[in-house]
């Protein structure tokens, strides 16, 4: 009896240690592949997440902060319609599900108490899928299978400069086929590429884990969406591009991940 108790304790310790190690390991985003051997600068993020929004906390990235925030959570009231195509006495039901979300938000971007820009964003997600439901009348249980027929999401943001020197800025992103956002940051006459990823340090997750920002063929910034968020900057990022990159990171932190389930 004593040996069995000790073995059970040992099993609990081993399982607990394994789960802890896995959670720590999973909750890290992989830095871009072209950053090997590079010591990036990390800007801490605070005020990220729905609870922070509900408490009225400003979003901060390093010494950048949001001022007035006009924000809506689409996940509180998604428009979902469900229709049955066929249903029989055998408990088998085939139907379709439509998911339609659309909302806007905006914020002012400050650095060292200086207003840089007023950013306005619109986000949407359109989805249509099928479902097959097989009910077991005896146990009142049902098995349901689901699949996608169509999926598209988008995020579009523009900024009005509030200080001299702020160049025209626009963020245009799309997501299709259950893939993370990808698109461009337009700044003046140039553009930076934005590429989302579901790849963690060792595993692929169902939601967006990180978003890389690329200038030409090189990654200049990476937004880590795990563990409260962090923005990593490559040492070769041009100083004048930093506010534009931070504005994009702010917009993405405030947006709904199109891959997240409501």
pLDDT tens per residue, range 212-236? 999 988 999 999 998 889 999 999 8
Q: What distances in angstroms separate CA 22 from CA 17, 146, 203, 208, one per listed residue?
A: 9, 29, 10, 18
Q: Is 259 within a domain?
A: no
Residue 182 CA to residue 128 CA, distance in Å, equals 21
Quote the domain boundaries for residue 139. Answer: 28-254
Q: Is 7 within a domain?
A: no
Q: Is 9 within a domain?
A: no
- pLDDT tens digits, 157-206: 999 999 999 999 999 999 988 889 999 999 998 999 999 999 888 888 88
Residue 227 CA to residue 250 CA, distance in Å, equals 16
- pLDDT tens digits, 120-167: 999 998 877 766 777 766 556 667 666 666 788 999 999 999 999 999
Q: Is 58 within a domain?
A: yes
Q: Is 207 within a domain?
A: yes
> Is this model's pTM higher than 0.85 or not?
no
With contact defined as beta carbons under 8 Å apart, do 219 and 233 qualify?
no
Q: Is 187 within a domain?
A: yes
Please report the DSSP string for 228-248 in residue order.
Answer: T-EEEE-TTS-GGGHHHHHHH
- pLDDT tens digits, 63-110: 999 987 776 654 444 455 566 656 666 667 777 777 778 888 899 999
With contact defined as beta carbons under 8 Å apart, do 257 and 50 qualify?
no
Task: Count the domains in the chain.
Answer: 1
Q: What are residue 20's phi and psi, to 5 degrees? A: -65, -45
With contact defined as beta carbons under 8 Å apart, do 78 and 100 qualify?
yes
Q: Is 17 within a domain?
A: no
Residue 257 CA to residue 120 CA, distance in Å, equals 17
Q: Is 74 within a domain?
A: yes
């Amino acid at each position: 009896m004593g040996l069995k108790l000790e073995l059970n304790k040992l099993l609990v310790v081993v399982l607990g240690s394994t789960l802890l190690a896995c959670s720590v390991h999973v909750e890290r985003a992989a830095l871009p592949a072209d950053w090997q051997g590079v010591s990036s600068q990390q800007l801490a993020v605070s005020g990220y997440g729905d609870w922070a929004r509900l408490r009225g906390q400003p979003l901060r990235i390093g010494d950048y902060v949001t001022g007035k925030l006009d924000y809506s959570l689409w996940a509180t009231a998604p428009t979902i319609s469900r229709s049955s195509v066929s249903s029989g006495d055998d408990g088998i039901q085939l139907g379709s599900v439509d998911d339609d979300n659309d909302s806007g938000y905006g914020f002012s971007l400050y650095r060292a108490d200086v207003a840089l820009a007023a950013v306005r964003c619109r986000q949407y997600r359109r989805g249509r899928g099928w479902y097959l439901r097989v009910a077991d009348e005896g146990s009142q249980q049902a098995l349901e299978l689901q699949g996608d027929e169509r999926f598209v999401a988008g995020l579009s943001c523009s900024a009005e400069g509030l200080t001299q020197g702020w160049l025209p800025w626009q963020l245009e992103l799309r997501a299709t086929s259950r893939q993370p956002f990808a698109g461009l940051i337009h700044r003046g006459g140039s553009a930076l590429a934005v590429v989302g990823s579901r790849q963690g340090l060792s595993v692929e997750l169902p939601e967006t884990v990180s978003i890389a920002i690329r200038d030409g063929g090189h990654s200049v910034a990476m937004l880590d969406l795990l563990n409260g968020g962090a923005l990593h900057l490559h040492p070769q990022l041009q100083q004048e591009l930093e506010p534009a990159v931070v504005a994009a990171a702010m917009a993405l932190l405030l947006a709904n991940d199109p891959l997240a389930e409501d």
